[in-house]
Chain A
C-alpha cells in the first residue's frame, strides 16, 4: 500500500467512455505497463430515515484492492467518521436497513488494472446504475507512504501519460502531505469524486 493519486481524466466530446479507456490503455501499455486483471471500486450510500434526526449518510465502499475489507464513511453534518471493517459489515447494513435505507443508486469505478515497476495504474470508468459518467485514473506508488516524499515523482509520472490535465497533486493530498497514507485515504478520494459526479445528475433530475 502506497501513496495513491486519483485523477479525473476529461472525456472529449468526440470520444465515448470505452474509447477514452482504450486511448489511455494504449498510452500506458506504450510505457511498458503490464495489465494485471480488472479492478472495481463501488459505493453504496445509505441515508438515515427522517425519524432519526439529524440526517446522516453512510457511504459503504468496497475496493477490490482490499478484498477482505469494507470501508464505511459516516457523514453527520460536518463530521465524518471513517471505519474499516471485515467483509461481514455488509450484513450489518442489511440489519439496520430500516433506519438507514439505501437512498441513492450505486456508483462504481471499474476498469483495467496495470502494473509498471513500482506503480500501479487503474483506469476506471465511473458509472451510476450503468450510466457512464466519466473516467477516473488511479495511480499508486507502492514504495512510499508519505505523499510529501513522492509528490514530484507522482506529478511527473501522471503528467507523463495523462498530459496537461494534471496540474499537481490533488488538494486532498496537498492537505495531507506529511501524514502516513492509509487505504481509507484512497476511499475518501473516491468519495470526493463520486460526490462531484452525482451532483450534476441531481441537477438533471
Chain B
C-alpha cells in the first residue's frame, strides 16, 4: 500500500485489419467504442504472467503457498460483472504486492530469508516453440504455393491441349490486323467492303467471325463442305453472305457481229482461279475472294448504270450479266460479270489471248474513282471551305465563263473510258496488222517500225523508217504515226500532218505513197552523189493509169553531160518503171518535117528498161549501176 501505479490506456491509431483480400485490399475491423476498448485492453492484462509475478509465485511457494492459492482461487471465480476479473486481479496483485513488500522487508534483514538467483530453463522451451511455430507457418505458406502451382499447371496443360487447334484469339488478332472488325453484343462483325477506300457501292460487305466448332457440329455449319479435311486448319471461321461467296471476275470480250471473238480479256482480279469455295479454305482467302466478288459487282453495277444512262448513237445494251457496247461499226465490246458459287461449273477452255493491259485498266478505273472519292484537295487558305476543287475555287474570283464551268462539270464515265481504251486497242491492233503486212509485202525499201514503249491507254505511237539496204545514209524517210482512239495522226519529217480514220485502207494508202515517194527521193539523192542532175519530179503524178491506191511518183534525171535522160515512175500497183532517152538522138534521121541535124539534140523517145533483167540487189543498186553505165558509155 506504499505507492500506487499509474496505468495509461490508449487506443491504437489504426483500426485492426480483419482480412486482406487477394487484390490487396484491407478490410478493417469496426473500431470499438470507448468502453469496449477499455474493457478489452483491461482484459488483456495478464497479471499472473509477468516475470515478476512468477518470481513472486516462487517465493510464495516457499513461504505462504496457502495465501497465494486463495488469491488464485478468487481469480477463477467467474463473475457477471465485466470488471470483476479486473478487480480481482488488482486485489490479488495488491495482496501480492503487500506480501512482496513484507518478504522484501524480511529479506532485507537477512536473518530469516536470503535472496538467491534461480536458474531458469525457460529459454530453451521458448525457442522450441518458436521453431515449431515457424515450421507450421512455413508449411502453410508452402501449401498455398503448391495449390497455386497446381492451378497454373492445370491451365498450362489446358493451353497445351488447345495448341493443337490454333488459338482463336491469336487468329482473331491476325484477322484484325488485316480486316475491319467490331464487336456487336456477342458477335464479331467484320466489314470487307471498300467503303473506307472510297467506294460508294450500296451493298454491304459484312461478315461474321465465329469460333470454329467441334468436329461433330461441322455438318451444320452454313456452307457444307464436301470432301473436307479431317480438321479445320483454323480456330476461326468467317461466314460470308451467300451473295459474296464464290469467285467472280469480269470478262471483257471484243467481238464482231458474227460472234467471232477478235480478242478476249478476262478480268480476273484474283489470279488464283483455283477453287476457293469450300468452308475449309483459310479465312484470309475466303475474305479476299469475297472482297473480290464485291469489287466485281460494284464495277459491273457501275458499268451497267452508265450503259443505261449514256446516250450513244448505237445504244448500249444491258442484258442480265452482260453489257454490250458498240465500239466500231460491227465490233462490240462485251463485258460480262462471271460469278460462280458452286464448284460444279468449270470454265470451258479459257481463251488464251488474255489481254493484261485491258484487264489492268478496268481494275484501275474503279480504283481511281475510289481514290478520288477519298482524296479531296485541301483548301488554301485554310479557312476556305472543304470540298470544291481548286478549279472550282478559282472559278468565281477569276470570273470563269460558262463554257469553262460546263466543262468542269463534265467527266467521263467508266464505260466511256473503257470503250475508248477498247477502241484504241482495236485501232492499234489494226495499225500493227497493216504495218506488218506491208513490211511483209514490200521487200525493196526496208520498212522498220518501232513502237514506243511508253504509251497511254488511249494513245500510242509508232515510228516508221523507210530505208534501202546499203543506201541508208543516202536517203531515209521517217514518219511518226500517233494511234488514238478512233483516228490516226501521221506526222512526217517535213512537218506535214495527216489525219486518218480508223479504216485500215487509209493507212495502207499512206504508207504505199510514202514508199514510192521514198524511192523517188532516194533516186534523187543518189543522182546527186553520182553527179546527175534531176530535172523534174512529181510525187503525185496525174497521168497514166488511175491507181487504186495512192498516186504514182516520178522523176526525170539527166546525166552530168546532159546527153542521157532517165525517167523513173513508181506506182503502187505497177511497181517501178524506168525509161532512158539519149540526147542527141542516136537514131536521128532527117525526114520531111525535121530536116536539120540540130534537132537531134532534142532528145528522143524514152525507151523502157527491162528492169527485172537489170543487175543489182535492189532498186537503188540497179539505179546506181544504170547511171554508172550511162555516164561511162
Direct A–B contact in the complex, CB atoms closer than 8 angstroms: yes
* Nearest CB of A to B160, in Å: 71
Asked if A85 CB lies within 8 Å of chain B CBs, one says yes
Give CA–CA (A68, B401) in the complex, Å: 8
Instruction: Return the chain A residue nearest B393 by Cβ.
Output: A86
- For B398, list chain A residues within 8 Å (CB): 69, 84
Q: How large is the interface on A (under 10, 10 to 19, 20 to 34, 35 or more residues)?
A: 10 to 19
Considering only residues 175-191 of chain A, those with a C-beta below 8 Å from chain B are 182-184
**Does A183 lie within 8 Å of B399, measured CB to CB?**
yes
Kindly identify, within residues 362 to 415 of chain B, every residue whose CB is under 8 Å from any CB belonging to chain A.
Answer: 395-402, 405
Chain A contacts of B401 at CB under 8 A? 1, 65-66, 183
Who on chain B is nearest to A182 by CB? B399
Min CB distance, A120 to chain B, in Å? 10
Closest to B404 in A: A1
Contact status A66-B399, CB under 8 Å: yes
Contacts of B396 in A (CB 8 A): 68-70, 84-87
Most buried by B among A64, A66, A68, A70: A68
A71 contacts B by Cβ under 8 Å: yes
Minimal beta-carbon separation of A70 from chain B (angstroms)? 8
A64's nearest neighbour on chain B, judged by CB, is B402
Is there an interface contact between A184 and B399, defined as CB atoms closer than 8 Å? yes
- Judged by a CB distance under 8 angstroms, whether A67 is at the interface is yes
Q: A64 to chain B: which residues have CB within 8 Å?
A: 402
Task: Kindly state the separation between the CA atoms of A71 and B400 in the bound complex, as whole angstroms.
Answer: 12
For A66, the closest partner residue in chain B by CB is: B399
- Kindly list chain B residues whose C-beta atoms are within 8 Å of the C-beta of A66: 399-402
Q: Which residues of B contact A85 (CB under 8 A)?
A: 396-397
CA of A95 to CA of B399, assembled, Å: 23
Q: What residues on B are CB-neighbors of A65 within 8 Å? A: 401-402
Write the chain A residue with the least CB distance to B395. Answer: A68
- Is the Cβ of B397 less than 8 Å from the Cβ of A69? yes
In the complex, how many angstroms separate the beta carbon of A83 from the nearest chain B beta carbon? 9
A31-85: which have CB < 8 Å to B? 64-71, 84-85
Give CA–CA (A159, B397) in the complex, Å: 34
Docked-complex contact A86 and B397, CB < 8 angstroms: yes
Smallest Cβ distance from A73 to chain B, in angstroms?
13
Residue from A68, A70, A71, A183 within 8 A of B405 (CB atoms): A68
Q: B396 — nearest CB in chain A belongs to which residue?
A: A86
A184 to B398, CA, bound (A): 9
Which of A64, A66, A182: most chain B Cβ within 10 A?
A66
CA distance A86 to B388 in the complex (A): 12
| Chain A residues in 8 Å Cβ range of B397 | 69, 84-86
A41 to B297, CA, bound (A): 49
A67, B408: Cα distance in complex, Å? 13
Q: How far is the CB of B388 from chain A (nearest CB, A)?
A: 10
A182 CA to B398 CA, complexed, in Å:
9
- B260-289 CB mask vs A (1 if < 8 Å, else 0) is 000000000000000000000000000000
B398, B399, B401 interface centre (most CB from chain A within 10 Å): B399
Shortest Cβ gap from A71 to chain B (Å): 7
Distance in Å: Cβ of B558 to nearest Cβ of chain A: 50
| Complex Cα–Cα for A81 and B466 (A) | 64
Within 91-112 of B, Cβ neighbours of A (below 8 Å) are at none
What is the bound-complex CA distance between A182 and B382, given in angstroms? 28
Residues of B within 8 A of A1 (CB): 399, 401
- Mask, B326-340, CB within 8 Å of A = 1, is 000000000000000
Q: How far is the CA of A85 from the CA of B400 in the complex (A)?
A: 11
In the bound assembly, the distance between CA atoms of A85 and B394 in angstroms comes to 10
CB distance from B379 to the nearest CB of A (A): 13
Shortest beta-carbon distance from A167 to chain B in Å: 28
The residues in B between 296 and 324 inclusive whose CB is less than 8 angstroms from any CB of A are: none
What is the chain B residue whose CB lies nearest that of A183?
A: B399
Q: Which residues of A contact B400 (CB under 8 A)?
A: 66, 68-69
Q: How far is the CA of A68 from the CA of B408 in the complex (A)?
A: 12
A85 and B399 alpha carbons, distance in the complex (Å): 8
The smallest C-beta distance from B361 to any residue of chain A, in angstroms, reads 34
Question: Which residues on the B side are within 8 Å of A86 (C-beta)?
Answer: 396-397
Q: In B79-134, which residues have CB < 8 Å from any A CB?
A: none
Minimum CB–CB distance from A113 to chain B (whole Å) comes to: 11
Q: Which residues of B contact A87 (CB under 8 A)?
A: 396
Chain B residue at smallest Cβ distance from A69:
B399
A70-B400 Cα distance, complex, nearest whole Å: 11
Give Cα A94 to B405, complex, Å. 26
User: Chain B: which residue is nearest A71 at the CB level?
Assistant: B399
Complex Cα distance A182/B399, Å?
Answer: 9
Find chain B residues with CB under 8 A from A84 CB: 396-399
CB distance from B510 to the nearest CB of A (A): 31
Q: In the assembled complex, how far is the CB of residue A135 from the closest CB belonging to chain B, in whole angstroms? A: 23
A85→B402 CA distance, assembly (Å): 15
Bound-state CA distance A20–B430 (Å) is 59
CA–CA, A69 and B397, complex, Å: 6
Give Cα A71–Cα B399 distance, bound, in whole angstroms.
9
In angstroms, Cα B395 to Cα A1, docked, is 13
Closest chain B CB from A138 CB (angstroms): 13
Nearest CB in chain A: distance from B333 CB, A: 35
Residues of B within 8 A of A69 (CB): 395-400
B395 CB contacts on chain A under 8 angstroms: 68-69
Q: Report B389 CB to chain A, min CB distance, Å.
A: 13
Query: In the docked arrangement, what's the CA distance between A66 and B401, Å?
Result: 4
A85 to B398, CA, bound (A): 8
Alpha-carbon distance A64/B399, docked complex (angstroms): 11
Least distance between B631 CB and chain A CB atoms (Å): 57
Nearest-CB distance from A174 to chain B (Å)?
A: 23
Which residues A133-148 have CB closer than 8 A to chain B?
Answer: none
Taken together as a complex, chains A and B put the C-alpha atoms of A64 and B396 apart, in Å, by 12
C-alpha gap A87/B397 in the complex (Å)? 9
Q: How far is the CB of A181 from chain B (nearest CB, A)?
A: 12
Q: A183 contacts which chain B residues (CB < 8 A)?
A: 399, 401
Measured CB to CB, the closest approach of chain B to A64, in angstroms, equals: 8
Q: How far is the CA of A69 from the CA of B396 in the complex (A)?
A: 4
- Min Cβ gap A65→B in Å is 5
How far, in whole Å, are A84 and B401 apart by their CA atoms in the complex? 13
For residue A78, give the distance in angstroms from its CB to the closest CB of chain B. Answer: 25
Closest Cβ of chain A to B402, distance in Å, is 6
Bound-complex Cα distance A87 to B396 (A): 7
A65 nearest in chain B by CB position = B401
Specify the chain B residue showing the minimal Cβ separation from A63.
Answer: B399
* Minimum Cβ distance to chain B for residue A76 (Å): 22
**Min CB distance, A132 to chain B, in Å?**
27
* Minimum Cβ distance to chain B for residue A154 (Å): 18
Q: A141-200: which residues lie under 8 A (CB-CB) from chain B? A: 182-184
Cα distance, A67 to B402, chains bound together (Å): 6
Q: Which residues of A contact B402 (CB under 8 A)?
A: 64-67
In the complex, which residue of chain A has the Cβ closest to the Cβ of B406?
Answer: A67
A1 CA to B405 CA in the complex, in Å? 12
Residues of B within 8 A of A184 (CB): 399
Return 9 A-B CB contacts under 8 Å, by A number.
A1-B399, A64-B402, A66-B400, A67-B402, A68-B399, A69-B397, A71-B399, A86-B396, A183-B401
Closest 4 CB pairs of A and B: A86-B396, A183-B399, A69-B399, A66-B399
Binding site for A on B (CB under 8 A): 395-402, 405
Q: A66-B399, A68-B399, A184-B399 are in contact. List 18 more A-B contacts (CB 8 A).
A: A1-B399, A1-B401, A64-B402, A66-B400, A66-B402, A68-B400, A69-B395, A69-B396, A69-B397, A69-B399, A69-B400, A70-B396, A71-B399, A84-B396, A84-B397, A85-B397, A86-B397, A182-B399
